[in-house]
Structure 1
Amino acid sequence: MKPALPTALRPAAFVLAVIGGFGALVLGLVYAGTSGPTGLDATLVDALAWSGDPWWTIATVIDFVGEPVGAIVTMAVFLGWCWFSRRPRTAVTGVVAALVTVGLTSGLKPLTGRYIHGEFLAYPSGHTGFAAALTFTAALGVLGGLRRFPASVLLVVVVVVAGLAMGWAQVTMGAHYPTDTLGGLGVALAVVPAAALLTDKGATRSSNTA
């Protein structure tokens, strides 16, 4: 049975987890209780919020992935790929990681108390976390058969690009500040390797007792 966390990708995955978790924590502490684009956000908002078409349309399409209906469709496609490629552990990891990531980003919002537009809790971004969590999980499955170095580089690139794409969409649509999206990405980076490792351990334990 194919592992959810291939041995060759464990070092890169755990490095991403540490960086992501630490980064999300630091950003949450720095921006807790704020309600405007300050510091890094003040610079990045103007650079990333691209107005007019086709940018608004592209941002809307990307944003759909994190909306309730879009998330269901995306998850269905992901699970269909897992079934077709016979990756049950990847499927379990994806579901667990997505649920935990969305749960954490939702639970952290009132704790950090950061607002956008004066009324919407913003930190961290659940849309970014969801997209990054599924991309991270799928990338572990796809890249596991490659050599360690190229697989690790591709893993980092794919996950970061996915997170930045959703982050850009959220900023362009005015739903989040840039650091909110980095926080959501960080949560996903911290959650996925842990979910994959626990899935593999649980599957191994079950097969040994069967």
Structure 2
Amino acid sequence: MSGRSAPAVLPRSLRVWLGPIAALAALVVVVLGVLYADDSKPGTVDARIGAALDGVGPRWRHVALAMDFLGEPVGAATLVVATVAGCLLFRCPRAAVLVVVGVGMTVGTATLLKHLAGRTIHGEHLSYPSGHAAFATALALVVALLATGLLGLGRTAGTSLVLAAALVAGAAMGWAQVALGAHYPTDVLGGWCTALAVIPATAWLVDRTADRLVDRMADAGRR
């Protein structure tokens, strides 16, 4: 027995669409990074969206602060631990690995890009891309991939679920970051695209590595 009965974290049916989407997302990240490199002012789109979201009431500000907390170390760690526990509960070890490795790679990539782009907000805080938006989107993508596998969804339904989850999570966290004045809207877009680029690639790598390990163990068992 090869052991490949363990469910793939990136179903083959989704690779057809998520591969090109990841490549396009990576291109958007690079283009925006070059466009706003070493900048410290909002662009035209940033100014318009920022003005529309400016001045949220106390109640909505509390919601934004709660969302922001989920992207901070304590809140993020809590979400990651809970998601890993859920993956193990459903006996999806590859998904558990993807939560840790994929989300970690996404946040690490966003942090590296911040230093490469050098865009700042409020004079000193590196802002592009948004790490909060990248984290929220990455976690949502992993959960959606897990759900796609567990439900046995096909290419269209699975891809739709994954993209919808990414959009909702990214938009929610992005709104909070812009409303709080922590990021420009284009920072949020960059963070969202960072997750879209990193998670599918990492998921493919997790599956490939796991399959190789299983094959090696099977070969060793036959000897």
Q: How high is the TM-score relative to the length of structure 2?
A: 0.90
Letter in 1 for 2:208: K
Residue identity opposite 2:61 in structure 1? W
Match of 2:154 in 1: 147
Stretch moving more, 151-160 or 180-189:
151-160
Please tell me whether residue 131 in structure 1 is matched to residue 136 in structure 2. Answer: yes
Q: Alignment partner of 1:2: what SS?
A: coil
Deviates most, 137-146 or 167-176: 137-146
Partner Cα distance (2:196, 2:28) in 1: 10
Q: Which runs of 5+ in 1 are unaligned?
A: none
Distance in 2 (CA, whole Å) between partners of 1:159 and 1:207 is 31
Provide closer, same or farther for how the CA distance between residues 141 and 50 of structure 1 changes in structure 2, counting only shifts above 3 A.
farther
SS at match of 1:54: helix
Aligned to 1:95: 100
Q: Which segment is superposed worse, 56-65 or 171-180?
A: 56-65
Give the secondary-structure state (helix, strand or coil) at the position aligned to 2:58.
Answer: coil
**Equivalent-residue separation in structure 1 for 2:160 and 2:98 (angstroms):** 21
The partner residue of 2:173 within 166, 174, 182 is: 166
Q: What is the TM-score when the length of structure 1 is the normalising length? A: 0.96
Shift of 1:195: 0.7
Match of 1:59 in 2: 64
Stretches (4+) displaced over 4 A: none
Partner residue, 1:19: 24
1:184 aligns with 2:191: yes
Report the residue type matching 2:156 in the other structure.
F
Deviations 1:117-159 (A, max 9, x none): 1111110111111111111111111013112212211211111
Structure with greater Cα Rg = 2
Q: State the SS of the aligned residue for 1:5.
A: coil
The one-letter code matched in structure 2 to 1:176 is H
Residue 178 of structure 1 aligns with an amino acid whose one-letter code is: P
Matching of residue 200 in structure 1 with residue 219 in structure 2: no
Offset, 1:50: 5.0
Identity fraction in percent: 45
Which residue number corresponds to residue 48 of structure 2? Answer: 43
Tell me: CA distance 1:68–1:23, structure 2 relative to 1, closer, same or farther (3 Å). same
Q: Which amino acid aligns with 2:109?
A: L
Structure 1 vs Structure 2 CA RMSD = 1.2
Q: Name which of structure 1's ranges 140-149 and 185-194 shifts more when overlaid on structure 2.
A: 140-149
Cα-to-partner distance string for 1:155-181 (whole Å, 9 max, x where unaligned) = 111111111111111001111000001
How far is the alpha carbon of 1:18 from its aligned partner? 1.5
